[in-house]
Chains A and B, each alone.
Chain A
Amino acid sequence: MPRTASKTTRKRSKPYTVTSSDTDHVPSASSKTKKSSKENDEKYKLFNKYANTSSGVIDPEGIEKLCSKLKVSHTDIKILMLAWKMKSERQGYFTKAEWRRALKALKVDTTKKLKKALPELEKEVRKPLNFADFYAYAFRYCLTDERQNCIDIETICQLLDMVLGSTFRDQVDHFVDYLKIQNDYKVSTMDQWMGFYRFCNEISFPDMTNYSLELAWPLILDNFFEWMREKQA
């Protein structure tokens, strides 16, 4: 069979591409296993620094310690973002596996490095695709009971401030004001929580000219809208 004369200069894709080497954490083929276990050791060492020895997890006390080391307040959103990164399931507690997951993803193994990595983490989380996920996570994280599916209004107010305060200050302030004075709802559901996020993203504020009561906005937002309108009149 005659071969095609034309030889296209096609780059053969290399099976292994060397990305920009970060630090000495790129495992070389030979010492892969050894190095990873060594890394994990580092992470576990760090873990044990903060963990409660009897329960085997980092409890709220440990988190406080961590926070002071990281020089962030424990109500700082960055801690929540860290929890998100490690997919932590229980508020106030980090398990070993969760800890390892986060540190591995952030590629850090010391507290100092972790502190440095936090701003990067925040940037990553604030990317629109991630932020929606993070926002939903924030709600679930606050659920204390497995069977529970709503959060009391006061906690919601705090959470909103923490999570959306920097990006949607105006909306959050007004909405929190409203939540404090209204009586229809004593708790908030995930649907309402997500609804507010969509509200911030889609509705111009404070004029809210593109809001419509005819659409499927959660009722609490309809009431908020009417309350705002009354105030503006």
Chain B
Amino acid sequence: MYRATIIDFEQGCKCLEAGVSELKRILEEETSETRIDPKQYLELYTTIYNMCIQKHPHDHSQRLYNKYHDIVEHYAKKTVLPCVQQKHDEYLLRELSRRWDHYKVFVKWLSHFFNYLERFFIPQRNYPSLLEVAMKSFRNRVYLEVQVNAKDVVIALIDKEREGAQIDMELLKNVLDIFVQSGMGTIERYKEDFEMFLLEETESYYARKASRWIQECSCPEYMIKSEESLKKEKERVTHYLHSSTESKLVEIVQDILLVSVAKHLLEKEHSGCSALLRDDKTDDLSRMYRLYHPIPKGLEPVADAFRIYVAREGNALIKQAQDAAANGSLVEAQVLVGKIIDLHEKYMVYVMDCFKNHTLFHKALKEAFEVFCNKKVAGSSSAELVANFCDSLFKKSGNDKLSDEAMEATIDNVVKLLDYISDKDIFSEFYRKKLARRLLFDHHKVNKEHETSMITKLKRQQGGQYTSKMEGMVTDMQLAKEFQKGFKGSLTAKPGGIDLAVTVLNTGFWPSYKTSTDLNLPREMVECVEAFKSYYGTKTNQRKLRWLYSHGTCHVIGSFDPKPIELVLSTYQAVVLCLFNNTERLTYQEIIEQLNLSHEDLVRVLLSLSCAKYRILNKEPASKSISTTDVFEFNSKFTSTMRRIKVSIPPPPIDERKKVVEDVDQDRRYAIDACIVRIMKSRKVLPHQQLVSQCVEQLSRMFKPDIKMIKKRIEDLITRDYLKRDAKNHHIFNYVA
């Protein structure tokens, strides 16, 4: 509408005030929708608009801006505040919430009226926007007056809710929004006027609960309660608290319920960590993990408890075995090692499931096993026991035999177990010796796949050098077979009428055996030896063969009166029997002179042939032991139901363990020497402690070196002029090039 007249300020205000009153009245009615008559709205808007665009001195923008400010101030101070201040407790909150809603609507419409100011005037002058002005007024006139009381009521309600009561969450949400908004762009008001107090209250609340629960509840019960509490607090945040409060609330609850009581909780006698492990309470353990995982360093006491428990279990197994050994019953390596493997599998499952494969728990498991896996049982180190275990494993036959998968799984377990044993070189020595025996004496029983699988897995974990000799041994057997084919092919006739099979072993790979070249072989066997020697000479260059007759086997046909029987014997046994081809009777002395065997060896052989299961020879006198005056005779009456029998001979009683330990000790000395020289060569100058610690570190893959031994080797190297002490500081070493 075209107006030619200028609107006077007072005139315009009158119009405004009418509109404002109308607005207030509508708000008081609280109909679901606050509607202003569009005509009135337009009139108000236009009035203000015109007052702004009028030419100077009738441009009333500044006065309108001030007027706006006055209006909201007045409304807040005279309408909102008194209503709120009249009320208490929850009613206070309700009124506050109600008035806040009203105020928001009021400001919204008012801003619409005054909207033109926002377009040019306010930006030009860089004044606070209309909404800002309104918010500020509310804050100053209303919020600051009532916030303390409001806060108290809210917190009281939250406390009630914590105890289980239902409260009006929407109300709280709305009220807390006031706090947030009053920060005017920052979260300060909410934090300082409300959150701070809430956190304080939360702390004391949970402190009370914690001290009661920890006394009354078992560990699982306590954990369930803690989990519940955390859940509830998080819900609280989603329902009506500001999101920034969540992390602080959670931290407080965790701290009070879980961290400060951790020790007490985990060590609870009948329900703590160890009890849970003992009773296989995987749910509770998973809960424990869930609860402590988000807390920094929270899992450490749990992992500790786990480690201690597993170590205790392992130690118990060891003690059991030690006691059994002390009481005389044999240390059955299989049983103990098998039990340790089972223990490992069991607790690995825990680590993977309950403890979600966390590195802390892998480490705990490892440390626990390292504690007891290095203990000795009846003089045998764990390395030896595991090697024995493997030996039995590979020798299993018939019904005892494991399926391929079961075998692979056991091999895996053994290799894992080896990781915990510090004397890995001792294991390798024992294993090698037993492998040699298996390959040489039981080669028809040997399962090549299984043996190679074990060696491959060991290689993967320990490196090629660790398994090189073992691999060499297995390869040797393979090569020997092929070589044997060639040898057979080259023969035109059987040397000495005997089917000869020779296995050539590479000295470097195999354990050292005493040779028995002094043995006087029967003529036929000598022919065999010569035949092979010459063939070997054609195929290889200047290699020397040492013959191990102690390790050979012979099939001999005994022409007994009832019927001929094939005897499977060791070479020594065969050689003794062959003497009786020439004479019926022989004395002990004659035998030993003709053969050139050692007394111990001959006794064993004669025992096996004359006093044991099968009486191939008759002995005079017929006692159970061999004396040097005995006389032996071929037992032509010997017979058996079977057509072929194996006459076993017990192995010589060498103290294998002692020899292995000696050999390994010697190897270690060389290894330490080499290590020291290597380190010094690269570092040139090094203080003693560093040299020792580096040495230990480098050698730890194979064994745990004794510090005293390292010191001794260093002194030896000084005497041999590899190192010398520094002239100025005798605790530093210099490399002597």
Contact = CB atoms under 8 A, between A and B. Distances in A.
Contacts of A214: 688-689
Size band of the interface chain B makes with A: 10 to 19
Contacts of A48: none
A195 B725 CA distance: 10
B231 interface: no
Contacts of A198: 730
Nearest to A216: B688
B736 to A, nearest CB: 13
Interface in B666-692: 687-689
A192 interface: yes
Contacts of B731: 215-216
A172 to B, nearest CB: 20
A208 to B, nearest CB: 16
Nearest to A215: B731
Nearest to A218: B715
B719 A189 contact: yes
Contacts of B719: 149-150, 189-191
Contacts of A149: 719
Given A191-B725, A198-B730, A215 B715 contact: no
Contacts of A215: 688-689, 731
B730 A216 contact: yes
A222 interface: yes
A189 B715 contact: yes
Contacts of B715: 189, 191-192, 218-219
B390 to A, nearest CB: 37
A149 B689 CA distance: 27
B518 to A, nearest CB: 36
B485 interface: no
B733 interface: yes
A191 B725 CA distance: 9
Nearest to A223: B708
A192 B688 CA distance: 16
Nearest to A190: B719
A26 B179 CA distance: 109
B718 interface: yes
Interface in A189-231: 189-192, 195, 198, 214-216, 218-219, 222
B363 interface: no
A191 B712 CA distance: 12
B74 interface: no
Contacts of A189: 715, 718-719
| Residue of B712, B730, B731 most packed against chain A (CB within 10 A) | B730
B708 to A, nearest CB: 6
A216 B708 contact: no
A222 B718 CA distance: 17
A194 B55 CA distance: 110
A102 to B, nearest CB: 27
A115 to B, nearest CB: 37
| Residue of A191, A192, A216, A222 most packed against chain B (CB within 10 A) | A216
Interface in B692-737: 708, 711-712, 714-715, 718-719, 725, 730-733
A222 B719 CA distance: 18
Contacts of A195: 730
Given A191-B725, A215-B731, A222 B711 contact: yes
A216 B689 CA distance: 8
A219 B725 contact: no
Interface string B84-97: 00000000000000
A218 B688 CA distance: 11
Contacts of B725: 191, 216
Contact of A219 (B687, B689, B711): B711
Nearest to B708: A219
Contacts of B711: 216, 218-219, 222
Contacts of B714: 216
B139 to A, nearest CB: 69
Contacts of A191: 715, 718-719, 725
Contacts of B688: 214-216
Given A191-B725, A214-B689, A219 B712 contact: yes
A210 to B, nearest CB: 13
Contact of B733 (A150, A192, A216, A218): A216
A187 B715 CA distance: 13
| Residue of A191, A192, A215, A222 most packed against chain B (CB within 10 A) | A191
A191 B714 CA distance: 11
Nearest to B712: A219
A15 B687 CA distance: 48
Nearest to B718: A191
Contacts of B718: 189, 191
Interface of B: 687-689, 708, 711-712, 714-715, 718-719, 725, 730-733
8 nearest CB pairs, A to B: A216-B688, A216-B731, A219-B711, A215-B731, A191-B718, A189-B719, A219-B712, A191-B715
Given A190-B719, A216-B688, 14 more contacts: A189-B715, A189-B719, A191-B715, A195-B730, A215-B688, A216-B687, A216-B711, A216-B731, A216-B732, A216-B733, A218-B715, A219-B711, A219-B715, A222-B708
20 contacts: A149-B719, A150-B719, A189-B715, A189-B718, A189-B719, A191-B715, A191-B725, A192-B715, A214-B689, A215-B688, A215-B689, A216-B687, A216-B688, A216-B711, A216-B731, A216-B732, A218-B711, A219-B708, A219-B715, A222-B708
